[in-house]
Amino acid sequence: DAKTTQPTSMDCAEGRAANLPCNHSTISGNEYVYWYRQIHSQGPQYIIHGLKNNETNEMASLIITEDRKSSTLILPHATLRDTAVYYCIVRGGGYSTLTFGKGTMLLVSP
């Protein structure tokens, strides 16, 4: 599976949009971009995933560039409870597993 690069940490003010970038320049055509987050001392929580089209659900939006080499997870109105480590994972088609990197520590402040 392709490797991903994320910033180590980011800050966001409560109520503002949080935009979390992820680079995956070696992604191949059948690989999906997945986002999970992990609140301290809890199991990871699935957020969203996509192949090439932008995706939106009740939690977030996923914007994937046309060349698919990078993506951005958008939390439209961040709350204090969104403080967590966010993992961007590229996952191949078929029966590939999830490989967690170091992720981005997002701190949402009042």
Partner 1 sequence: GAVVSQHPSWVICKSGTSVKIECRSLDFQATTMFWYRQFPKQSLMLMATSNEGSKATYEQGVEKDKFLINHASLTLSTLTVTSAHPEDSSFYICSASLRRDYEQYFGPGTRLTVT
Q: Least CB distance from residue 15 to partner 1, whole Å?
A: 28
Cα gap 21→7, rounded to integer Å: 7
- Please give the backbone phi and psi of residue 61, each rounded to the nearest 5 degrees, phi first: -120, 145
Looking at the DSSP bridge assignments, the partners of residue 90 are 33
| Contacts of partner 1 in 86-105 (CB under 8 A) | 87, 93-103
Q: Least CB distance from residue 97 to partner 1, whole Å?
A: 6
Q: Does 7 bind partner 1 (CB under 8 A)?
A: no
Residue 21 burial class via C-beta count within 10 angstroms: exposed 0-12, middle 13-18, buried 19 and up: middle
Residues 44-73, one symbol each (x = binds partner 1 by CB under 8 A, - = not), give xxx--x------------------------
Under DSSP, the state recorded for 60 is -
Q: Does 8 bind partner 1 (CB under 8 A)?
A: no
Binding site for partner 1 (CB under 8 A): 34, 36, 38, 41-46, 49, 87, 93-103
